[in-house]
Structure 1
Amino acid sequence: MPVSSPCGSWPSPITAALVAGAGGGPQWLDVAGGEPWWAEARPAEGGRLALVRAGEEMLPAPWNARNRVHEYGGRPWLVAGRSLYFTHWDDQRVRVRDLDTGSVTALTPEPATPQGVRFGDLRPGPGGEVWAVRETSTGPRRTDIRRDLVAFAEGEIRSLSASHHFLTAPQLSPDGAHAAWLGWNHPSMPWDETELCVAQVRADGSFTPQRVLAGGAGVSVCQLEWESPGSLLALADPDGWWNLHRIGLDGASKALAPAEAELGGPLWKIGSRWFAPLGGGRYAVLDSGRLAVLDEHEGTIRPLAPELTEWAAGIAVHDGAVFGIASGPGRESAVLRVDATTGAITELAAEAAPVSHAYLRAPEERVFTGEHGERIPAYVYPPANPEYTVPEGELPPYLVHVHGGPTGRNFPVPDLDFAYFTSRGIGVVAVNYGGSVGYGRAYRERLREQWGVVDVGDCVTVAKALVAEGIADPRRLAIRGGSAGGFTSAAAMTTSSVFGAGTIKFPILDLAGWTGEGGETHDFESRYLDGLIGPLPETLARYEERSPLLHADQLTGPVLLLQGLDDQICPPEQADRFVESLGGKGIPHAYLTFDGEQHGFRKAETMITALEAELSFYGQVFGFDTPGVPRLDLRR
């Protein structure tokens, strides 16, 4: 019989160490030689990315298969024959491991400056070559970057093309006659518009000048694959939804199953894959993150294994089955094989369930209504602990979780990070505010020039709705998020009186500084705010109006800031200035920094410290005990 006990103080088997231990997991899956391979993050090894083949480690320490292309990284490995090519984090060089002898050889030279030349999105080229995107630092600023497409083999590197400022690696046509890739330029982000380029491959391996077959002018292409020597398959959104198209070398395009369905996603990491051909006019696709089969003859998109509600953008097909990394209610993230005909699921690799599923309940999928009738999807995770219950007359605290991006989204899956709080009697609601992906271009563009307004407003609307329904305590509402979610959290704490506390992780706080001219972000996102806020200098007043750093004195409650000191995307300078501005103002706050952490936390010790600090923070602000957790020192 559950015991009635104050919210926030429930004992829980979900410790911060347990969450950190499960904080890695598989990524970058593909099938090579008929077997699934994937990268696997190891928080206990400082966040090292190992490579695994069917459960067997194929890239032991000290090798770390990550790269810095676009700072978010691109496809970091490729198997060709008996060779494993990979990018190594420490120096960003490409190496090859002989799968027979285990020997590792560097293919690219040591850069003149540390990590000054990096490679990503490794693809097979002709004659044993490997094709990739090369990113070269050309000066002292984070935006001093040049990119081109390259081929390398036996130590020689050849430049193939530099069609755009941003590029994906070229893919070779089945007959070896053409190469195709995606490119885009500032100020567009890849979900705004990209161009699908094709060039002939000359006898000496060089490219002819490229032609644009699709995309551009407000159309985003997020993935391409060759179908035949004369046609490609591509995910593009000319009608406002990422649908699958067949595109000929003459530029003729046809949607294979037109629908208001989002079969693609935001190209944060080059090499992501949302579809794979099954043969016979059938394709495995991800429909807003859920696996489906598109049949071009019937013009249908039918769910496959619908109990899995989130698939990573990295599916592969082999022998009539779909391989990928997925999770769902009652199932943590795992490497899976799904029969494309029957939907039968085979688990190939998964972490053992760390706790009973009584602590990991599936969220309630909700749609809230905004002030002007807009629909706001969200996932509600109420307190869940089989041994405790909320006392009569008490309402639980609630955390509004803001995803990053902001061109990103939350998924309806069990979340161990959330369960750390819900198992202690603290509810969580994850909001897919305007600007989130999965709902078509029109929903994404609700945020155009409205960042800091629409996202904050949607989070406030959801929080108020939970209060009005008698679900959440109006005096104990907090908002939390990292990166773009850190900005929204800080903006909400300086413009709204709804939240009594805010956790702000590796945030954007000074909008004008977080631009190419401001110098406080990297090249990939240095013009992102042209669309999210407005062009400069015409809309400078809007940048100033919405920058939390310039309005820190208007904070409506205490804040906790968490920051990696090696972050190149949201560097610590902004958090430093924000905290400095709070000195002596009487606003309770804490600021924890972590050496060796980049954007997002990868080390187990960092994850543990950050989670425990966050719980102690809420306990002190909202007045409940947090037994077993070090007390966070709040300054004023």
Structure 2
Amino acid sequence: MGDAVRTSEYGSWPSPIDAALAAAHDGRPDHVGFVGDEAWWTEPRPAEGGRRTLVRRRADGREESVLPAPWDVRSRVLEYGGQPWAGTVIGGRPLVVFVHHADQRLYRWEEGGEPRPLTPASPVGGGLRWVDPQVHADRGEVWCVLEEFTGDGPSDVRRVPAAVPLDGSAAHRRDAVRELTDDRHRFVTGARLSPDGRRAAWLAWDHPRMPWDGTELLVADVAADGTLGAPAVVAGGPEESVAQADWAPDGRLLHTSDRSGWWNLHRDGAPLCPREEEFGGPLWQIGLRWFAPLAGGLVAVLHGRGSTALGILDAETGEIVDAAGPWTEFAPTLAVAGERVLAVGASPRSAYEVIELDTRTGRSRVIGAAHDDAVDPAYYPEPQIRTFTGPAGRDVHAHIYPPHHPRCTAPGDRPPPYVVWAHGGPTSRAPLVLDLAVAYFTSRGIGVAEVDYGGSTGYGRAYRERLREQWGVVDVEDCAAVALALADEGTADRGRLAVRGGSAGGWTAAASLTTTDVYACGTILYPVLDLTGWGAGETHDFESRYLESLVGPLAEVPARYAERSPAAHTDRLTAPFLLLQGLDDVICPPVQCERFLAGLAGRDVPHAYLTFEGEGHGFRRAETTVRALEAELALYARVFGLTPPGVAELELTT
């Protein structure tokens, strides 16, 4: 017999999912690849200072961390990084190259030895950075993207596809690095070499475009000496986003393009499987992969509307067969070897795992980072996929996570408190996966609503472009529409609604608190708060012109930058809030928070400001996540009158 169901108020339910447990499961495996027949990938280590290690799965199934602390396999190109490693087999032994986060140098590792640097350090600005390596052992080179700072400013930077000698001769000589092209484009991806070695393909784009606005697919001939000829544009343009390009084994060029309004897969310019689904996504990192060509005309693809599936596309018939399994979401990383496909998938009942699909048998199995239920799955939230009606009758997609506890129920008819989560990006979306940070709240009796507001990806280009010049308007309206709809239908308590978000979601949360009266409080993490500063050199190069599409050209609508900024409207702020900020954040720097708080001086608005040394944009350390989650719960407890057991009171200042 199970325990009897107890009756207690929402927000006071005892839960086995504490902040330490949620922090221990933060992050996901990523950047999968094959080294010979072995599967390799990166994994987070929140308890080890938030570093990422490289994991190897041997033929007998054993997993081992190849690089001990303090090695941290992570690139900082574009600040968001991307594919940080690649490997091959030479003489029956693995050879791996990787980027070490601390100095951003490219290193070579071989079994039984220590990592040796392949690239030099640079004292100029952000130095030399590398991402998206491709090992060409026959050429004695690693092809990758070089990001080179030429001064101390965030925009004093150039990027080119480059070749690094494998023999270490460039470890202390910048002039030994061979640039494959000139630097006519501001942004590039790594060059992919055709199977016959005679052509190379890569993507490029320039300010003020972001890669989901418009990119160009470039192809160049490769000369006998390894130099590239003049590139030709074969796809893409200012209003066409090509998200990925790669060569099939037969030498034909594949790419994803949204020219139809959806990121679909094309071969030699013709669509292979035209659908109102996404076969690509926003290129926030260099080296993301939504497709991987196999032999015989098959292509592994990630596709879907909203959530994603892993499928095998027959390029000749256009038919897709999806992998069987419980996974409802796949990260944009794929690798293939023979008939084997590696992917990273998750579901509302399982965190991200490394999955292998055998295309001969159709069998899928977990081979790494296997999900292990740290608590009884009965405490996991049960999401509802819903579409709400926003202003002007527009659809607003959301995942609703009602309070859920196997042995607790609430008394009376009063609905539960709800927190609206605004995702970052804002050109991104909320994945449909088990997130113990969500369960931390739902298992205590607090509902969570993740809103894919207008501007989110996964629903076509038109949905994505609803946010064009409307950031701080459409996102705020759509989140409010979901919150109020939940209250109107009796799902949520109208007087106990909160909003929270990080990065661009932090902007939406702050804008919601300064322009609406929907929420009783809010949690704002590493946010954008002042457009006039953020758009004038306070952020990094990649997003320095992002506001031209999100808000409008500064030269044409300068007043709009101040008009939209939460920092300019602190006089409208009355709701209590929690502000969380990493002190090493170069994307949304602490000065944004400081300026926002200065505007509150002399006003009686209860708030807490917590800062974290050693944390950048997005928290990686377990102790930071614990402090942030406990403080957030304490805020809701105080404002909503909740009594969660074991939660210390949050001191709010005015």
**TM-score (norm. length: structure 1):** 0.96
Find the aligned partners of 2:121 and 2:298 in 1 and give their Cα distance.
45
Q: 2:134 aligns with which of 123, 127, 132?
A: 123
- Partner of residue 484, structure 1: 504
Q: Are residues 1:102 and 2:106 paired?
A: no
Find the aligned partners of 1:383 and 1:233 in 2 and give their Cα distance.
45
Find the aligned partners of 2:157 and 2:529 in 1 and give their Cα distance.
24
Cα deviation digits, residues 255-301 of structure 1 (max 9, x gap): 11111111101000111000112333332211132212322333233
Q: Are residues 1:608 and 2:626 paired?
A: yes
Q: 2:300 aligns with which of 279, 284, 291?
A: 284
Deviation at 1:584, TM superposition (A): 2.4
Find the aligned partners of 1:406 and 1:165 in 2 and give their Cα distance.
22
- Between 1:155-164 and 1:51-60, the stretch displaced more is 155-164
Contact 1:91 1:115 in 2 (8 A): no
Find the aligned partners of 1:481 and 1:9 in 2 and give their Cα distance.
23
Q: 2:319 aligns with which of 294, 300, 310?
A: 300
Q: 1:408 aligns with which of 428, 451, 455?
A: 428
Contact 1:117 1:135 in 2 (8 A): yes
Contact 1:362 1:412 in 2 (8 A): no
- AA aligned to 1:150 is A
Find the aligned partners of 2:555 and 2:27 in 1 and give their Cα distance.
41
- Between 1:102-111 and 1:280-289, the stretch displaced more is 280-289
Q: 1:561 aligns with which of 579, 604, 607?
A: 579
Other structure's SS at 1:512 match: helix
- AA aligned to 2:100 is H
Other structure's SS at 1:549 match: helix
- AA aligned to 1:217 is P
Q: Unaligned stretches of 5+ in structure 2?
A: 58-62, 171-175
Find the aligned partners of 1:573 and 1:203 in 2 and give their Cα distance.
51
Contact 2:242 2:255 in 1 (8 A): yes
Find the aligned partners of 2:326 and 2:110 in 1 and give their Cα distance.
39
Other structure's SS at 1:312 match: strand
- Between 1:290-299 and 1:182-191, the stretch displaced more is 290-299
Deviation at 1:433, TM superposition (A): 0.6
Other structure's SS at 2:522 match: strand
Q: 2:122 aligns with which of 105, 111, 121?
A: 111
Find the aligned partners of 1:532 and 1:306 in 2 and give their Cα distance.
38
Equivalent pairs counted in the alignment come to: 628
Other structure's SS at 1:550 match: helix
Cα deviation digits, residues 520-540 of structure 1 (max 9, x gap): 110000000100100012111
- AA aligned to 2:496 is R
Deviation at 1:407, TM superposition (A): 0.4
- Partner of residue 62, structure 1: 70
Deviation at 1:113, TM superposition (A): 4.1
Find the aligned partners of 1:40 and 1:181 in 2 and give their Cα distance.
27
- AA aligned to 2:258 is D
- Partner of residue 22, structure 1: 25
Contact 1:358 1:385 in 2 (8 A): yes
- Between 1:223-232 and 1:558-567, the stretch displaced more is 223-232
- Partner of residue 272, structure 1: 288
Deviation at 1:362, TM superposition (A): 3.2
- AA aligned to 1:597 is E
Q: Are residues 1:347 and 2:359 paired?
A: no
Deviation at 1:341, TM superposition (A): 5.6
Find the aligned partners of 2:123 and 2:377 in 1 and give their Cα distance.
51
Matching of residues 416-427 of structure 1 within 5 Å: 416-427=436-447
Deviation at 1:343, TM superposition (A): 4.4
Matching of residues 6-155 of structure 1 within 5 Å: 6-54=9-57, 55-81=63-89, 82-99=94-111, 101-113=112-124, 115-125=126-136, 127-153=139-165, 154=167, 155=170
Contact 1:290 1:306 in 2 (8 A): no
Find the aligned partners of 1:308 and 1:5 in 2 and give their Cα distance.
34
Deviation at 1:2, TM superposition (A): 1.7
Other structure's SS at 1:445 match: helix
Q: 2:594 aligns with which of 552, 562, 576?
A: 576
Deviation at 1:565, TM superposition (A): 0.5
Change (3 A) 1:67 1:489: same
- Partner of residue 274, structure 2: 258
- Partner of residue 365, structure 1: 385
Other structure's SS at 1:127 match: coil
Matching of residues 526-541 of structure 1 within 5 Å: 526-541=544-559
Other structure's SS at 2:98 match: strand
Deviation at 1:114, TM superposition (A): 7.1
Other structure's SS at 2:587 match: coil
Find the aligned partners of 1:362 and 1:297 in 2 and give their Cα distance.
39
Deviation at 1:31, TM superposition (A): 1.8
Other structure's SS at 1:315 match: strand
- Between 1:30-39 and 1:519-528, the stretch displaced more is 30-39
- Partner of residue 326, structure 1: 345
Other structure's SS at 2:481 match: helix
Cα deviation digits, residues 303-344 of structure 1 (max 9, x gap): 323631110100222343322111113222211123336543
Q: 2:334 aligns with which of 315, 338, 352?
A: 315
Deviation at 1:186, TM superposition (A): 0.2
Find the aligned partners of 1:544 and 1:519 in 2 and give their Cα distance.
16
Find the aligned partners of 1:229 and 1:112 in 2 and give their Cα distance.
44
- Between 1:620-629 and 1:567-576, the stretch displaced more is 620-629
Find the aligned partners of 1:72 and 1:380 in 2 and give their Cα distance.
29
Contact 2:121 2:127 in 1 (8 A): no
Matching of residues 180-199 of structure 1 within 5 Å: 180-199=201-220
- AA aligned to 1:236 is S
Q: Report the identity percentage.
A: 53
Deviation at 1:141, TM superposition (A): 1.8
Find the aligned partners of 1:383 and 1:540 in 2 and give their Cα distance.
44
Other structure's SS at 1:519 match: helix
- AA aligned to 2:248 is E
Contact 2:196 2:251 in 1 (8 A): no
Q: Are residues 1:513 and 2:518 paired?
A: no
Contact 1:242 1:440 in 2 (8 A): yes
- Partner of residue 244, structure 2: 223
- Between 1:130-139 and 1:523-532, the stretch displaced more is 130-139
Find the aligned partners of 1:420 and 1:342 in 2 and give their Cα distance.
39
Find the aligned partners of 1:200 and 1:177 in 2 and give their Cα distance.
6
Find the aligned partners of 2:549 and 2:250 in 1 and give their Cα distance.
37
Find the aligned partners of 1:341 and 1:424 in 2 and give their Cα distance.
45
Contact 1:499 1:556 in 2 (8 A): no
Find the aligned partners of 2:455 and 2:386 in 1 and give their Cα distance.
17
Deviation at 1:395, TM superposition (A): 1.2
Find the aligned partners of 1:622 and 1:412 in 2 and give their Cα distance.
27
**TM-score (norm. length: structure 2):** 0.94
- Partner of residue 632, structure 1: 650
- Partner of residue 262, structure 2: 241
- Partner of residue 482, structure 2: 462
Find the aligned partners of 1:217 and 1:44 in 2 and give their Cα distance.
43
Contact 1:50 1:59 in 2 (8 A): yes
Q: 2:187 aligns with which of 140, 159, 166?
A: 166
- AA aligned to 1:261 is E
Find the aligned partners of 2:316 and 2:420 in 1 and give their Cα distance.
44
- Between 1:214-223 and 1:293-302, the stretch displaced more is 293-302
- AA aligned to 2:247 is W
Contact 2:247 2:293 in 1 (8 A): no
- AA aligned to 1:258 is P
Contact 1:124 1:171 in 2 (8 A): no
Find the aligned partners of 2:107 and 2:204 in 1 and give their Cα distance.
26
- Partner of residue 3, structure 1: 6
- Partner of residue 337, structure 1: 356
Other structure's SS at 2:248 match: strand
Find the aligned partners of 2:231 and 2:566 in 1 and give their Cα distance.
44
Other structure's SS at 1:442 match: helix
Other structure's SS at 1:582 match: coil
Contact 1:311 1:326 in 2 (8 A): yes
Find the aligned partners of 2:462 and 2:321 in 1 and give their Cα distance.
24
RMSD of equivalent CA atoms: 1.5
Deviation at 1:629, TM superposition (A): 2.1
